[in-house]
Amino acid sequence: MRIGLFVTCLVDMVRPEIGFSTLKLLESNGCEVVVPDLQTCCGQPGYNSGDRQSARALAEKFLNEFEGFEYVVIPSGSCGGMVKTHYSDLFSDAPDLRARMRKLEPRVFELTDFLASVLKISSLPSSFKGHITYHDSCCGLRELGVQAQPRALLGKLPDVQLTEMKDSTACCGFGGTFAIKYGNISSAIVDEKCANIHGSGADAVVLGDLGCMLNIEGRLRRTGDDKTRVLHVAQVLAGDC
C-alpha cells in the first residue's frame, strides 16, 4: 500500500516529531510511505481569510503532488477537512480539476481514521502509560467525522486510562485566524477548555490537531500549569512521548 503523507505546515515547522511518529505508525503496519519534497500548505489560512486565489493555487499544487497515491494520510483534522471538504469548492469553475479532486477525495484520510477504518490495526508500537483526556478538534469532528476512531485506538493501549472531559467536542478557541482577529474571545474559550481538562483529573490531554495543541498548551503554560502534558495522538499511539 503506497501512501502519500501530507505532513502539514505546523508539523513541519513547529513539531516535526509528530511527522516522524506518523511515519512510524504507517510503516509499522506495512505501508510504503512517500513524503513529496515540494509539499507546502493546504491553503486553509488563505481560504478562511477570503483569499481564494492563493488557496486555489495551493489546492491545485496539492492535487498535482498527491493524486497518484493509493491513499493520502494527514495527521491533522483541520488540514484534512480543508482538502476533503473545501477543495471542490475552490475548483468550482474548473470542471477538469474538480473531476480529478472528486476521484482523490475518497482516498484522503485523517491519520486515526486511516489507522482504524482502512488498516483496521489490532496492535500498536506503544508502551505509553498514563491518565489522559481527549479533545476533539472542530474540523476533524465536524468535517471528517473523527471522534470514535482515536478513542478506539487509544483503547488498545492497556496502560492508558481515558477520562472524558466536560464538553470535549467544544472549540478550544484557536480557529486559525479567529484567534488573531478575536483574541479576547479566543482566550475566554481556551480558558474554559483548560478548566475542563483540569476537571477531568487527567495528567495529559491528547488531540489530533496541532493548532489546537499549541493553543491549549500555550494557555496552560501562561496560566501557570507546567505539569499537564499536551500530546498529539500520533505520539501516544507510536509510543514517542
Same domain (yes/no): 29, 70: yes
Within 10 Å of residue 119's Cβ, how many Cβ atoms? 18
In the chain, the DSSP E strands lie at 2-5, 32-34, 71-74, 108-110, 130-134, 160-162, 204-207, 229-232
Q: Is residue 13 part of a domain?
A: yes
Query: How much is the pTM?
Result: 0.95
Side chain identity at 241, as an amino acid letter?
A: C
Query: Which one of 56, 83, 118 terminates a domain?
Result: 118
Q: Is residue 58 part of a domain?
A: yes
Same domain (yes/no): 12, 104: yes
Identify the domain containing residue 134 by its residue range: 130-238
Tally of domains in the chain: 2
Same domain (yes/no): 143, 96: no
Query: Which one of 118, 138, 157 terminates a domain?
Result: 118
In this structure, what CATH number is given to the domain that contains residue 78?
A: 3.40.50
33 φ, ψ (degrees, to nearest 5): -110, 130
Alpha carbons 124 and 105: distance in angstroms, whole number: 27
Query: Which one of 73, 95, 118 terminates a domain?
Result: 118
Cα separations in angstroms, 46 against 13, 51, 82: 18, 5, 11
Give the bridge partners for 73, in sequence order: 5, 109
SS3 helix, strand, coil % of the chain, rounded to 5? 55, 10, 35
Same domain (yes/no): 107, 11: yes
Q: Is residue 125 part of a domain?
A: no
Same domain (yes/no): 146, 67: no
pLDDT in the model for residue 179: 87
Same domain (yes/no): 232, 143: yes
Same domain (yes/no): 90, 143: no
pLDDT in the model for residue 119: 97
Q: Is 133 left (phi over 0), alpha (psi -120 to 50) or beta?
A: beta
Q: To the nearest 10°, report the CA torsion of 51, 52, 57, 60.
A: 150
Query: Average pLDDT for consecutive 10-residue bins of the chain (241 residues)?
Result: 96 96 96 96 93 97 98 97 96 96 97 98 93 97 97 97 98 90 94 98 97 96 97 97 89
Same domain (yes/no): 95, 203: no
The grid coordinates of residue 130 equal 498514563
Within 10 Å of residue 117's Cβ, how many Cβ atoms? 15
Same domain (yes/no): 231, 139: yes
Question: Greatest CA span in the chain, whole angstroms?
Answer: 53
